Structure 1
Amino acid sequence: MNLSAKASSQTQASGAQSRAVAALALFQVLENGRSLSDALPQASRQQQLNARDQALAQAICYGVLRHLPRYNAYANALLEKPLRAKMKPLHYLLLVGIYQIVGLNTQTHAAVAATVEAAVLLKLPRHKGLVNGVLRNFLRNQASIEQQVDSDDLAHPRWLQQRLIDNYGQQRATDIMQANNQQAPMWLRVNLAKQTRTDYQQRLQQQGIDSVADPHVASALRLTHAVAVQQLPGFAEGDVSVQDVAAQACAALLQPQTGQRVLDCCAAPGGKTVHMLEHCHGELSMTALDVDERRLQRVDENLKRGGYQAQLVCADAAATDSWWDGQPFQAILLDAPCSATGVIRRHPDIKWLRRADDIATLTATQQRLLDNLWPTLAVGGRLLYATCSVLTDENSAQIAAFLARHADARLLPIATADNPVAGVLEGCWQRLPGTAEGDGFFYAVMEKQA
C-alpha cells in the first residue's frame, strides 16, 4: 500500500470510529437509560478515539438528541419496517448519518462512507448495504422527506411540554424549549483571589481568545468561541474554572464570611465549593458533602487544582446522625438533586431520560434534605436552596411549603437585574435557560430566626 492509500485508509477508519462511537452512545442513552456523560466516554475509550474524533462524536450525539423526534421521523420514513433487537444499533447509526447531512453539513460522500463503514465496528457488517441505501435515498429525496415528515420542532417529550405550559403559559414555555435546543456558550469563573477579571481577560486576549464580561456576576466571562481547557492560561494553577454564570451566582447569594463554618451539600463536582473558598481567600471551615464517593473525587481534584482545603464527607446529607458533629454551620448551600430541566442546553439527553413520575420522587427528596439540614444551621445563619430546574414543584412550591412548616425560617428577598418571572414565589429568583446567556437556575435564601 502506498503512503497516500494508507493515509486515506487511516482517515476512513478514524471517521468510522467516531460515527460508531456516536451510535453506541446514543443506543446506551435511549435504549438503556444511561447518561451521555457516562456512555460517550466509555464508547470513546473502547474505540481509542483521539481528541478531535471525540469532539465530533460528541457534536453528533448532542445534535441528534436536541432534535431526536425529527431524526427518528426521517429514518422511519426511509425504512420499510423498524429495526429491532440486534439490528437496533443500526437505527442510531442512521440517525448519526442523517444528522451529519442535515445538521453538520458534512460532505455527503464522507458522511455516507464513514457511516457505512461504522456498521462493521458495530459488528453488523452484512448490513452495510442497508445503511448505504437508506442514506443515499435520503440524499436523493431530502427536500420531499423534510416536507412530508411531521416532526415536533420543540423536540421535548409531551409530559415536559405540558408541565412547562402549566407553569409558564404557552409562549414562555415555547421560549424555554427553543432555548433548550440551542448550544450553550462556554462560561469561565475567574479566581478573583488571584487576579482581577480584567487582568485575566487580557491574558485570554494574548492567547487569541475573545471573551465578554457579565455585567452582574463579577467573576464571570463568556467566551465568544469555546476552547479546550488546556488552552486557558492558568487553568492548571486554579486561576480560572469552567462554570456557567448561573451557577456562579450561588457564592454571592449565600455570602459566606471569612472564618465561618460552611456546608456545601450535594457538592460534586465541587465548582461551588471552590468558588466559596475563592470568595473568602480560602479562610473558611468548609465541609463538602456528597452521597457519591466517585463524584466526591472530582471535588478533591478541583480543590487541589485551586490550592484549597475542605473536609470531604461521603454520606446522605439528610441522614445527619451519620455525619454531623452537632456543631452548627453559619452558611449552608443546598444544591439539591433535581430534574435538571434548566441545563438541557448542556445535557440534551435529560429530555429523554427524565420521566414525569420522577418529579414527585425528586420533590420528596428535596423536602427531606431541607427539613433535616435546617437543624444544622446556626441561628442567624443562611441556607441557600438552589436547583438547576425550571419546574415550579421543585422550586417556588417547595420553598413555600418549607416556610409554612418552619416558623423560624425567613425568606431573604433576592434583588436581581432580571425581569421577574410570573408565578415565582416573591423574593426568590428563577433564571430561565438562555437568560443573559446562562442556564436555568432557581435560588431561595433563607435565614434562621431565634
Structure 2
Amino acid sequence: MKKFSLPGPRGLAFDCVTRSLDGGADAQAVLDDALSSSDLDQRDRGFVTEILYGYLRMRIRLQTVLNCFLSNPDGLPAPVLRVLGMASYEIMHMDVPAYASVDWGVDSAKRLSRGKLGGLANAVLRKVARLAEDGADEDFFRRQTQGDVEYLSAYYSCPEWIVELWLDSYGREKAEMYLDAQICPPAAGFVLNTKDKEARKAALTLMEENDFIESDGQAFAFYSGYRPQVFKELPKEVFARQSYAAREALSVLEPVKWAVPVWDACAGRGGKLRFLNSKGVSPIIASDPHLRRLSALKRETPSISAFRASAINPPLAYSSIGTALLDVPCSGLGVLSRRPDTKFKRTPDDVASLIRLQSKILENSWKTVRSGGRMAYITCTLNPAENEVQIASFLKKHKDAKLVKEWTTPPESELREFFYSALIEKN
C-alpha cells in the first residue's frame, strides 16, 4: 500500500486535501486515485470521503473558529494549520468522539513540526471541543466578523468575492439560499437504462417507494448517502451515477424537438449524449479537446461518432449542423456542493477569461448551425455574466438569432446544484 504523510485513513484524507489545494488537482480525481491505491475497507473509505469534502466545504468557517484561539495563525506552517482545521471539522461536524480527533490532531502536529507544536495543537483543539459543546451559531460568527460580507463568508464558508457577486446579482434572500446549498452535500443522482427489463422493473419499484427528491421515471435524485436497496440487485452496467440537476438543465430544452444532426461540442465523458440517445435523438456526433475524456467517451459509447476538437475552432462545415449543444467551460459556481475545492481555485480574473472563451465558442459554433437549426447553451455556474448576460450579448450581435427558452435551477432546489440553460434558434 502507498505510504501517506500521516498514518491511517485521516492521513490519506490529509494527503488528498494537500494535493487538491496545493497541487491544484481536482479533489474527486485525487480521492479516486488515493482510494484505488489503498486497502481501506468500505467504512474507512466513507470516512476519508466525508473528511475531505466536509473540510473543503467548511474550510473558511473552521479557520474563523481557529483564529479565535490562535494569536498568529499566519505564522503556523500550512500543514499544521490544515491538520487543526481537519480535526476541528471532525469535532464540530462529525459524529466522532472529540478525544479521538484531538489525539489525531496533536499527534499529527507533532509529526509535522518535529515535536514542537503538539502542546499548541492540544490547547487549541480542546477549546474547539468546548466551543462545539456550547454550539457555534450564527451569533458567534457575527461577533467574530466585521460587516455583512465578512460574516456571510465566514458562516457559509465561501470566499468574499463570491459572496459579493451573489449578493449583487441575486439579492440577499437568494444569495443565502445559494450559500447554504454549497456547504451541504449534493443530491445523489442515478440514471437507469430502462431498455433493460430488470432496470425498468427497478425504476417502477423506486417510483412506488417514492423516497426520491425528484425523478423523471428514468433518472432519480436521492438525498446524499441514501442508496436504494434495488440497486444492490442490479448489474452495474444498467445504471450509473449522473447529476440530476445537469440532466434537468438539458431536458428542459426539449431535445426530442431539435433539428439533427446534433453536435455535442463539449462532450466530456458522454453523459449528455447518452441522455440524447435514450430519447431517440439521432444522429449525434461528439467532440472534446481532452484526449482522456474522449477515450472514455469512445469506450463507454462506441456507437457515437466522436473526434478530438475544440469548440473554439470547430472543424465542421458552415451550416452543416442541425443543433449545436454547448456545455461550455465555466466558473463552476453552481456546483460548489459537489466540487468545493473550486471556490479556492477560481478567481475573478479566471471568470473574465472564461467569459471571453464562452463568447468565442458561441460565435464559432453558430457558424456551423444551418438556418432553422438551434444552439443549446449550458453552464453549471451562478454568474449572470456567464449566463443571462452572455446570451443577451450574443442575441444583440446576431439578428438571425431568436431566444426560444431560458432556464435556471430554482434557488430553493433540494438538489443543491444549479445550472443555467438556453436554447437559441437560427432564423
TM-score of Structure 1 vs Structure 2, range by shorter chain:
0.7 to 0.9
Q: Determine the structure 1 residue equivalent to 2:26.
A: 35
Q: Match of 1:312, as an amino acid?
A: A
Contact 1:184 1:345 in 2 (8 A): yes
Task: Give the drift of 1:364.
Answer: 0.6
Of 143-152 and 129-138, deviating more is: 143-152
Unaligned residue ranges in structure 2 (runs of 5+): 146-150
State the percentage of identical aligned residues: 26
Q: What pairs up with 1:60-71 in 2 under 5 angstroms?
A: 60-71=51-62
Q: Is 2:384 aligned against 1:385?
A: no
Q: Is 2:307 aligned against 1:309?
A: no
Task: Give the drift of 1:121.
Answer: 7.5
Unaligned residue ranges in structure 1 (runs of 5+): 1-12, 414-427
In the superposition, relative to structure 1, how do residues 432 and 144 fare at CA in structure 2: closer, same or farther (>3 Å)? same
Supply the distance in 2 between the matched residues of 1:405 and 1:258 (Cα, whole angstroms). Answer: 23
| Alignment deviations for residues 402-426 of structure 1 (CA, whole Å, 9 cap, x no partner) | 111112212113xxxxxxxxxxxxx
Matching residue within 86, 96, 116 for 1:106: 96
Q: Determine the structure 1 residue equivalent to 2:335.
A: 343
Query: What's the TM-score once normalised by structure 1's chain length?
Result: 0.80
Supply the distance in 2 between the matched residues of 1:229 and 1:35 (Cα, whole angstroms). Answer: 31
Of 387-396 and 128-137, deviating more is: 128-137
Supply the distance in 2 between the matched residues of 1:244 and 1:222 (Cα, whole angstroms). Answer: 8
Supply the distance in 1 between the matched residues of 2:258 and 2:328 (Cα, whole angstroms). Answer: 24
Supply the distance in 1 between the matched residues of 2:294 and 2:349 (Cα, whole angstroms). Answer: 28
| Alignment deviations for residues 174-200 of structure 1 (CA, whole Å, 9 cap, x no partner) | 121112222211122233444698732
Task: Give the drift of 1:47.
Answer: 5.6
Q: Is 2:273 aligned against 1:273?
A: yes
Contact 2:158 2:179 in 1 (8 A): yes
In the superposition, relative to structure 1, how do residues 229 and 324 fare at CA in structure 2: closer, same or farther (>3 Å)? farther
Supply the distance in 1 between the matched residues of 2:114 and 2:37 (Cα, whole angstroms). Answer: 17
Q: Determine the structure 2 residue equivalent to 1:17.
A: 8
Q: Determine the structure 2 residue equivalent to 1:442.
A: 420
Aligned-residue CA RMSD in angstroms?
3.4
In the superposition, relative to structure 1, how do residues 138 and 435 fare at CA in structure 2: closer, same or farther (>3 Å)? closer
Contact 1:213 1:220 in 2 (8 A): no
Supply the distance in 2 between the matched residues of 1:93 and 1:54 (Cα, whole angstroms). Answer: 19
Task: Give the drift of 1:202.
Answer: 4.5
Contact 2:184 2:416 in 1 (8 A): no
Matching residue within 78, 82, 94 for 1:88: 78
| Alignment deviations for residues 344-368 of structure 1 (CA, whole Å, 9 cap, x no partner) | 1211222222111222111111110
Task: Give the drift of 1:50.
Answer: 4.1
Q: Determine the structure 2 residue equivalent to 1:264.
A: 264
| Alignment deviations for residues 32-82 of structure 1 (CA, whole Å, 9 cap, x no partner) | 443312333344456654443232122112222222222112223333433
State the SS of the aligned residue for 2:72.
Answer: coil
In the superposition, relative to structure 1, how do residues 24 and 166 fare at CA in structure 2: closer, same or farther (>3 Å)? same
State the SS of the aligned residue for 2:60.
Answer: helix
Task: Give the drift of 1:105.
Answer: 2.4
Supply the distance in 2 between the matched residues of 1:365 and 1:284 (Cα, whole angstroms). Answer: 29
State the SS of the aligned residue for 1:349.
Answer: helix
Q: Is 2:287 aligned against 1:289?
A: yes
Q: What pairs up with 1:131-210 in 2 under 5 angstroms?
A: 131-140=121-130, 142=132, 146=136, 147=140, 149-150=144-145, 152-194=154-196, 199-202=201-204
Of 160-169 and 292-301, deviating more is: 292-301
Contact 1:258 1:284 in 2 (8 A): no
